[in-house]
Every structure is written in C-alpha cells, then in structure tokens.
Amino acid sequence: AEECMVNAARHAGTDTVDVLVSRTGSMVSVLISDAGCGFDPESIPLERLGVRRSVVDRMAEVGGRAKVMSTPGRGTTVVLEAAVPDAGTP
C-alpha cells in the first residue's frame, strides 16, 4: 500500500490519493485510488519493476493478490487483498 501511495505521489500528477481499508472475516482489502493522469499497465516495459515487483509480486509472496486498474487520463486504482491471521478478536 505504501508503494502505491508513493507511486501516486510521484507519477499521478494530483495532490490527492484516497485509501480505503476494510476487513471481511480474515480478508483485509486496501484500495488506493487517484484521479491523476493514469497509465496503461500493459505498456510497462519488463525492465521496469516498480508496479510488478514492489506491488504485484510482494502481494503474491504473502499469499495475497494485487489488481492494478488504470487508464490514461482517468486515474489509477489498486486493490490489495490478503488473508490475515485471526487475532482472537471479533
């Protein structure tokens, strides 16, 4: 989530990033969204590791997943989801 916020601050061309954290059972979701310049995720060169390594791969390493949705001129939304161990509280 931190890397997504840093990426938005560096690249989105907007001063606002919205972050929503929610939990349903053992699943925690973090949605990071900006209304900035957006980009085409499919056009990221393979040698560029920011989104791929710092977001998608890191989430996979902990058994979670990341979905990056962006369109040039329409901003970017990243959804991160992972199960968390039960801390014994409802």
* Ranges of each domain in the chain: 2-83
What is the arrangement of strands in the sheet containing 76-83, beginning at the earlier edge strand?
Answer: 18-24, 27-34, 76-83, 65-70
pTM recorded for the entire structure: 0.82
State pLDDT tens for residues 2-17. Answer: 888 988 888 899 989 9
* E-state strands within 1-90: 18-24, 27-34, 65-70, 76-83
The fold of 2-83 is Heat Shock Protein 90 (3.30.565)
Report pLDDT for 64: 94
Reported as a single tens digit per residue, the pLDDT across 43-74 is 776 676 667 677 888 899 989 999 999 999 99
Residue 43 DSSP label: G
Query: Pick from 73, 64, 79: which is nearest to 40 by CA?
Result: 73
